[in-house]
Amino acid sequence: MSTDSVRAVIFDLDDTLYLQQSFLDAAWHHVAEFAAQRSSVPREAWYEKLSLYSSQGSDRGGIIDRAVADLDPSQDIQLLVDRFRSFAPESLPLIDNVEDALTALHAVVPLGLITDGDVTIQRAKIAALGIAHHFDAIVISDEIGREFRKPHPAPFRAALEALGVPASHVVYVGDRPEKDVAGAASVGMRAIRVRTGEYAARESQTLPWHDVADVLEAIKVLRTYIAE
C-alpha cells in the first residue's frame, strides 16, 4: 500500500464526524409530535414505533410507512415523510473533541467532506453541526444525482478536483466499508475506516489502509503522514 505523504483529507459525515443516531432520534421525536396531532395515537407510541423500525436499519427505508401501517393507516404518509425531510435541528453534537481536531488538521492540509443522502437533510445536519467552515470542498452526492451515491467514483472525483490534490496524496475517512472504503479505492485514494455508529461491527471484504476506533484516532494516524 502507498506510503505517499498526505496532502489533503476527505471525511464522510454520518457516523464518522457525529453519530447519525442523534439526528434520527430528534427527527423521530419531531415526526411523532406531528403525527400525534393528526391522529388519536399518542406521541410516545409514534416515537417508539418509528425508533423501532429505524433501529432495524436506517438505510432500509419505509420506516414511516411501516409505522403508519401499524398504528394508523388513515395517516397521509407523504405528509409525515415531508415532516421528516424538512427537519432542521438547531444543533447536533459532534463526536467529542472533533471540533479541535478538525481545526488543528485544517491548519496543515485542505479538508473535504463527501456525504450521501437527501440534499436538504444533509445540509441541515451540516448547519446544525456548525462544521462547514472546516471544509474547502463539500460534496453532497445527491446534488450530482441520486445514482451517484458512494461508492460511485463521481463524488470522490468531484471532491478531489475541488481540492486540487492528486488522489495518491489524499486519504478518505469513513465508517462504511462498502461505500467509503470501496469508493475511495475506486479513485486511487487510501481509506481509514472508523468503527463508529450503526455499521461499526459490519464485516467487510474491502480492507482499508487503516482500521481505527474513531475519527480522532484516524486524525492521529494521519498526522504521522503529514509533513509539517
Instruction: Summarize as ranges the residues that interact with Mg ion (CB under 5 A).
Output: 12, 14-15, 175
Is the distance from CB of 179 to CB of 212 less than 8 angstroms? no
Task: Name which of 32 and 173 has its Cβ closer to Mg ion.
Answer: 173
Measure the CA–CA gap between 115 and 23, rounded to whole angstroms. Answer: 15
Choose between 49 and 149: whose C-beta lies nearer to Mg ion: 149
CB of 14 to Mg ion, least distance (A): 4
Max CA separation in the chain (angstroms): 62
Q: Which residue is nearest to Mg ion (CB)?
A: 14
Q: How far is the CB of 78 from Mg ion (least distance, A)?
A: 27
Nearer to Mg ion, 4 or 143 (CB): 143
Is residue 114 classed as helix, strand or coil in its secondary structure? strand
CA atoms within 13 A on the CB side of 223: 13
**Nearest CA among 63, 134, 53, 57 for reference residue 94:** 134
SS (H, E, C) 154-212: HHHHHHHHHHCCCHHHEEEEECCHHHHHHHHHHCCCEEEEECCCCCCCCCCCCCCCEEE
Nearer to Mg ion, 172 or 209 (CB): 172
In the complex, minimum distance from the CB of residue 173 to Mg ion, in angstroms, rounded to a whole number: 10
Place of cell 445527491: 142
Give whichever of 48 and 178 is closer to Mg ion, judged by the CB atom.
178
| Helix, strand, coil shares, percent, the chain, to 5 | 50, 15, 40
Which of 15, 214 has the CB closer to Mg ion?
A: 15
- Least separation in angstroms between residue 5's CB and Mg ion is 26
Least distance to Mg ion, CB of residue 102, Å: 16
Q: Is 110 helix (H, G, I), strand (E, B) or coil?
A: coil
The least distance separating Mg ion from the CB of residue 15, rounded to whole angstroms, comes to 4
- Residue whose grid cell is 505517499: 4
